[in-house]
Amino acid sequence: SRMGTPKAWLTWRQEPFLTRITRQLTAVAPPVIVVAAPGQALPPVAEGVRRVEDHHALQGHLAALQRGLEELGGSASRVFFCGCDAPLLAPQFVSRLASLLDRDHDLAIVDWQGRLQGCACLVRAGLRTQIEQLLHSGRRRLLDLVEVSRALIVDAGQLAEVDPQLWSLRGVNTPEQLAALIRDAAEVP
């Protein structure tokens, strides 16, 4: 509602955000699953991307992650989770984050400007039980997962070598943020 149109349909260089993000992710993190609200209209997605509907609309990121893990059915040991509002998500950002998730951690989450970035994290599929427990107790924030997992907090600077401007973390939540992204990232294709 803040944007006046669903974020998935916002465009970067005439390409809907969701189309661009799924295209970028299929290069490094297949299979890609889009979790949508029941009946939600979405722009086209990259070839091979699976769309699933969330069981309950508007239950938050943690419920969407749980639904995506359910759809994977154990076919992946770890997943990258993101929203559809960061059109400049770089494949190399995802690859670098994946390389940092070691055997001692279940979750790699980025700390950028003093805030944990729940919409750009890598999660081990084995956290599904903890996710279900959080949801059952009424907790819906993806950041709640930090408390019940072996979380690796990744300083955003560790990702700057592959994404110097950290465009991958620039989510768009307001028309002003979109205008700033267009202005600041004018050189990004």
pLDDT for 70-87, tens place per residue? 999 888 999 999 999 999
Q: What is the C-alpha to C-alpha distance for residues 4 and 6, in angstroms, rounded to an integer?
A: 7
User: Is pLDDT above 90 for 69?
Assistant: yes
Which stretches does DSSP call E strand in the chain? Answer: 11-12, 15-16, 33-36, 50-53, 78-82, 107-112, 115-124, 151-155
| Residue 1 confidence class, pLDDT cut points 50, 70, 90 | low
Q: Average of pLDDT values for 19-35?
A: 94
pLDDT tens digit string along 99-155? Answer: 999 999 999 999 999 999 999 999 999 999 999 999 999 999 999 999 999 999 999
DSSP state of 142: G
Confidence of residue 59 (pLDDT cuts 50, 70, 90): confident
Cross-strand bridge partners of residue 11: 16
Q: Tell me, what's the pLDDT at 75?
A: 86
Nearest to 92 by CA among 152, 183, 166, 178: 166
Lowest mean pLDDT among 2-6, 56-60, 72-76, 90-94: 56-60
Q: Give the tens place of pLDDT for each residue, 92-110.
A: 999 999 999 999 999 999 9
Given a cut of 80, is residue 57 above it in pLDDT? no
Q: For strand 15-16 and strand 33-36, is the pairing parallel, antiparallel, or unpaired?
A: unpaired
Quote the pLDDT of residue 178.
Answer: 93
- Calculate what percentage of the chain has a pLDDT beyond 90: 86
pLDDT computed for residue 142 by the predictor = 92
Residue 16, beta-bridge partner list: 11
Q: Are 72 and 55 in contact (CB under 8 A)?
A: no
Which structure tokens are listed for 110? 């980025």
- Written as one letter, the residue type at 33 is I
Give residue for tokens 């995506």: 68
Residue 154: which residues within 8 A CB-CB, separation 6 or more? Answer: 97, 100, 108, 109, 110, 111
**With contact defined as beta carbons under 8 Å apart, do 105 and 152 qualify?**
yes
Q: Categorize the per-residue pLDDT at 188 as very low, low, confident or very high, splitting at 50, 70 and 90.
A: confident
Q: How many residues does the chain have?
A: 189
Three-state SS for 8? helix
